[in-house]
Every structure is written in structure tokens, then in C-alpha cells.
């Protein structure tokens, strides 16, 4: 078999850097699919493999959209995909999947460990049909270790990975920051790095490999100094509210018009600027709260002084004074604020994609921005099985009768 390789030339300005890379996304929800999404935005062909009849549960997660089988979460997160249906647990379905694997570059999956192996689709079976394949495996705890068989979701990863213990007010119930699927997206980002590294390794003649990531690992990886501070200095971080033990003032403060503003003073110089914005420069004197060590020891007093100042002014005035003094500051935006934010508009962070069934659907645009080879959203999440004919007939060479028979039998 001739190994599939990444494109080496982008002479044609219309060619995205991952054009020619084919990804089979048979995962569900967000983590592993986020990796596929990032690859697809930069040119990879995405084939979404879903269970016949029900499809990816993400289709029913969140706010329903005008399309009967899709939530708005699906329309956004399943962008740029072609949807096919295939029952991988049936021998005929597994056989077709192996044929797809033979002509693909990457597979993204997030089944519990051992599931693919039970269907005859484990790494050894897939590598046998395509030695250059990159297999991404995302689970709650990874493919090894005593917890490997436990189910996992982002909320569990936030808990086990240490994030939730840090979130909330001191002495109160730990919370999940924003109650979002943050751990899923973090895992998807790290997974994308792993897949891209594996593709480069393959391009250099190294062949395929497995990329293995646990959701909790992605959360643990972004917790600053948490591990070394405990292991080497005995420091145990806990819930610190809106602030942080490492800097002061560094948190969220109320304004007179019942808004909130974030202020971050991580250095003495930044606090001196804030003191100037407050018209109380003496607060930054060495005999007052100028040194960070002094401010940390008097955190409650300093935060109370700042809160009293912000609470005496409307948000707009706090912003004006802080920005004039070059103090790091920002409003706590709701999605209403974000949609109407001029910075978001100028950067094009939200983009409208037109779909025949849905109309114009506004979703977050591609990041990161590349000056020479930018990513692109071609379409929102597809209808279930809408790509069956193209993939099974055009790619695998099945006849129309064979496709119809497999559909009647519930394989497709």
C-alpha cells in the first residue's frame, strides 16, 4: 500500500494545509470530535460515522434547532462533516469500517476501552489494513491504569483532574466553572496536537501510531503550579473564590450599575497603575500596599478597597479609568454582551453559515488564525446519514442495490 502523505505544497492559494487528509470520526459528544473539527477547518475531509437511527447523542444535547435531528450544539460542533450511518457492532458494519480505515489517515474514537477490540476493530486489526493509520483514542481515564474501564464525562474530568476542587467560594460547594464541557474541549485540543505530530512522524516514514488521552489528564495539565507546589513545597490549593492566592487584587468586583468587572494586578507596577486610576496613588507606597507580599497578607482589606471604588462607579467609567492607566481590566460579559461586542465583530469571531434546512446559523469561527493558510467553515453539522450514498457508493464502490439492502437490514 502506498502511504498517504500530507500535502507538501500550497502553491494553490485555495488549498488548505490538511487537504488530502481523510478523518473517520466515529466518536460521540465533544472531546474526540473536537480534534476532528480542528483538522477539518484546515482542510481535512471529515466522515462522521454514526449509529443508524439515533446518530451521535450530541444531536439531542442542548437547544433544539429548526432541523428535527439536530441541536444548535450539533450544528456548530459537527461543522464540515459528511454524515454516514454504520452499525459497527455488526460484522458487516465492522467490515465496511475496516474498508474505510484502509483509505483513511486518522480515526477518532472515544468508546470505552476494549469496545473496538470486541467488534474486531482494535489497533491490531486496523493497523493490519492500514499501517500508516493514526488512531486517536479519547476516554475518561486513558487506555491504561486501574480506572481505564470507568465511564467519563467532562464534569467527572473536572472533578478527578483537580479543577472543581479549586472552583467556588471558600468553604462552599465546589462548582464546575461555567458548567461547560471545558475538559472535553481541552482534551480535543491536546488530541489535535497529538494527531498532527503523529502525521508528521508518518510523513517522515515512521508509520502510524495510537494517540491516547484521558479527559482528566487534559484538565490536570492546565492547573498551573498545582502539582509541583504541593510535591515540593507542601502547598495545597483550594477554593479561592474570584481571586487567587498568588496575586492581589486579582478578581471580580461589582460596579454601581450592577455589573461586574475583572481586574488583574499580578505585579507591583500594575497595582500602582490601579492606585492611580483610583485617585489614591498612596496605596501603592512601600509603607502601604505597594509590595505584593503585603497585599497578599492583607488580601481582604485590599479587595474591599477596590470593591468600594468600583462599586461607586458605573462599569463604563471603571473601564475608562483603568484603561487610561493601563490596568488589565475587562467586563464580565454575558453572551448578550459578546454578540454585541465590537472586538468580536472586528475579529469576526462569530460567523453566519447558510443551510437549506436551518437558514443562517451563527456559530463561533475558526481559531487560530493563520495568515497564509486560514481555516474555513464550509457547512454546519449535517443531517443524519446524508452522506451515505456518496461515501459507500463513490468511495467504497458499493452498488445502489447493496446500499439499499444494508439500509433495510439496519447495517446503515
pLDDT band for 4, please (50, 70, 90 cuts).
low
Q: What is the pLDDT of residues 220-236, one digit of tens each?
A: 999 999 999 999 999 99
Q: Are 289 and 273 in contact (CB under 8 A)?
A: no
Q: Do 250-254+260-331 and 22-221+366-408 have the same topology in CATH?
A: no
Q: Verify cis geometry, omega within 30 degrees of 0, for the bond prior to 134.
A: no
Q: Is the pLDDT of residue 356 over 50?
A: yes
Average pLDDT over residues 143-162: 96
Backbone CA torsion sign across 261, 267, 268, 270:
negative
pLDDT band for 9, please (50, 70, 90 cuts).
very low
Indicate the burial class of 407 (C-beta count within 10 angstroms; 0-12, 13-18, 19 or more).
middle
- Cβ-based neighbours of 332, under 8 Å, separated by 6 or more: 252, 259, 260, 261, 262
d(CA 46, CA 56): 15
Q: Are 254 and 312 in contact (CB under 8 A)?
A: no
Give the number of other CB atoms < 10 A from CB of residue 57: 13
Length of the chain: 412
Least confident window among 2-6, 124-128, 343-347, 358-362 = 2-6
The closest alpha carbon to 219, from 169, 252, 261, 184, belongs to 184
Average pLDDT over residues 122-147: 98
Indicate the burial class of 75 (C-beta count within 10 angstroms; 0-12, 13-18, 19 or more).
buried
Average pLDDT over residues 171-192: 93
pLDDT band for 8, please (50, 70, 90 cuts).
very low
Write the DSSP assignment of 262-306 as a string of letters. EEE--SHHHHHHHHHHTT-GGGGSTTTT-SHHHHHHTHHHHHHHH
Indicate the burial class of 172 (C-beta count within 10 angstroms; 0-12, 13-18, 19 or more).
exposed
CA angle 302, 170, 177 (to 5 degrees): 100
pLDDT score for 294: 97
Q: Is the pLDDT of residue 10 over 60?
A: no
Secondary structure (3-state) at 363: strand
pLDDT band for 180, please (50, 70, 90 cuts).
confident
pLDDT band for 207, please (50, 70, 90 cuts).
very high
What is the CA 300 to chain-centroid distance, rounded? 35
Q: Are 71 and 384 in contact (CB under 8 A)?
A: no
The label of the residue with cell 492606585 reads 275
Tell me the CA distances in angstroms from 382 to 46, 130, 404, one per residue in order: 11, 28, 20
- Average pLDDT over all residues of the chain: 94
The closest alpha carbon to 380, from 41, 53, 62, 136, belongs to 41
Average pLDDT over residues 321-340: 97
Secondary structure (3-state) at 25: strand
Average pLDDT over residues 60-83: 96
End-to-end CA distance of the chain: 28
Tell me the fold of 250-254+260-331: formyl-coa transferase, domain 3 (3.30.1540)
Beta strand 250-254 with 260-264: parallel, antiparallel or unpaired? antiparallel
Q: List residues with catalytic annotation.
A: 184
Q: What is the 8-class DSSP label of residue 64?
A: B
d(CA 173, CA 164): 10
Q: Is the pLDDT of residue 5 over 80?
A: no
Q: Is the pLDDT of residue 335 over 50?
A: yes
Name the more confident of 241 and 145: 145
d(CA 369, CA 41): 11
Q: Are 85 and 385 in contact (CB under 8 A)?
A: yes
Which CATH number fits the domain 22-221+366-408, given the four candidates 3.10.310.10, 3.40.930.10, 3.40.50.10540, 2.40.30.130? 3.40.50.10540
The residue extents of the domains of the chain are 22-221+366-408, 250-254+260-331
pLDDT band for 98, please (50, 70, 90 cuts).
very high
Indicate the burial class of 129 (C-beta count within 10 angstroms; 0-12, 13-18, 19 or more).
middle
Write the DSSP assignment of 190-253 as a string of letters. HHHHHHHHHHHHIIIII--EEEEEEHHHHHHTTSTTHHHHHHHH-------TTSBTTBSSEEEE
d(CA 122, CA 129): 11
Amino acid at each position: 500500500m502506498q502511504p498517504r502523505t500530507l500535502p507538501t505544497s500550497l502553491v494553490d492559494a485555495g488549498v488548505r494545509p490538511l487537504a488530502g487528509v481523510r478523518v473517520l470520526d466515529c466518536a460521540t459528544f465533544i472531546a474526540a470530535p473536537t480534534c476532528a473539527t480542528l483538522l477539518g477547518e484546515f482542510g481535512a475531509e471529515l466522515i462522521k460515522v454514526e449509529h443508524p437511527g439515533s446518530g451521535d447523542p450530541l444531536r439531542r444535547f442542548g437547544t433544539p434547532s429548526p432541523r428535527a435531528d439536530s441541536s444548535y450544539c450539533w450544528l456548530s460542533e459537527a461543522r464540515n462533516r459528511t454524515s454516514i450511518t454504520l452499525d459497527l457492532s455488526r460484522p458487516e458494519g465492522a467490515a465496511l469500517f475496516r474498508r474505510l480505515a484502509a483509505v483513511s489517515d486518522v480515526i477518532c474514537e472515544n468508546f470505552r476501552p476494549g469496545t473496538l477490540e470486541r467488534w474486531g476493530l482494535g489497533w491490531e486489526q486496523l493497523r493490519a489494513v492500514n499501517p500508516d493509520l493514526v488512531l486517536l483514542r479519547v476516554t475518561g481515564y486513558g487506555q491504561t491504569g486501574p480506572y481505564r474501564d470507568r465511564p467519563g464525562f467532562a464534569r467527572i474530568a473536572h472533578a478527578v483532574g483537580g479543577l472543581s476542587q479549586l472552583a467556588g467560594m471558600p468553604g462552599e460547594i465546589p462548582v464546575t466553572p461555567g458548567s461547560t464541557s471545558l475538559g472535553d474541549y481541552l482534551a480535543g485540543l491536546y488530541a489535535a496536537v497529538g494527531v498532527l505530530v503523529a502525521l508528521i512522524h508518518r510523513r517522515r516514514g515512521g508509520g502510524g501510531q495510537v494517540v491516547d488521552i484521558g479527559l482528566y489528564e487534559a484538565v490536570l495539565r492546565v492547573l498551573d503550579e498545582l502539582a509541583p507546589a504541593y510535591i515540593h513545597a507542601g502547598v495545597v490549593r483550594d477554593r479561592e473564590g474570584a481571586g487567587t492566592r498568588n496575586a492581589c487584587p486579582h478578581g471580580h468586583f461589582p460596579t454601581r450599575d450592577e455589573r461586574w468587572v475583572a481586574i488583574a494586578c499580578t505585579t507591583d507596577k500594575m497595582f500602582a497603575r490601579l492606585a492611580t486610576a483610583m485617585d489614591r496613588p498612596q496605596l501603592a507606597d512601600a509603607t502601604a500596599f505597594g509590595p505584593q507580599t503585603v497585599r497578599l497578607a492583607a488580601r481582604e482589606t485590599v479587595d474591599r478597597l477596590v470593591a468600594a471604588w468600583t462599586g461607586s462607579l458605573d462599569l463604563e467609567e471603571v473601564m475608562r479609568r483603568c484603561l487610561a492607566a493601563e490596568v488589565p481590566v475587562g467586563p464580565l460579559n454575558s453572551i448578550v454582551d459578546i454578540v454585541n461586542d465590537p472586538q468580536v465583530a472586528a475579529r469576526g469571531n462569530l460567523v453566519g453559515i447558510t443551510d437549506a434546512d436551518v437558514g443562517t446559523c451563527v456559530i463561533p469561527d475558526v481559531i487560530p488564525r493563520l495568515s497564509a493558510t486560514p481555516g474555513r467553515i464550509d457547512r454546519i453539522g449535517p443531517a443524519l446519514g446524508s452522506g451515505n450514498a456518496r461515501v459507500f457508493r463513490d468511495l467504497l464502490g458499493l452498488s445502489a442495490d447493496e446500499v439499499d439492502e444494508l439500509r433495510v437490514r439496519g447495517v446503515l
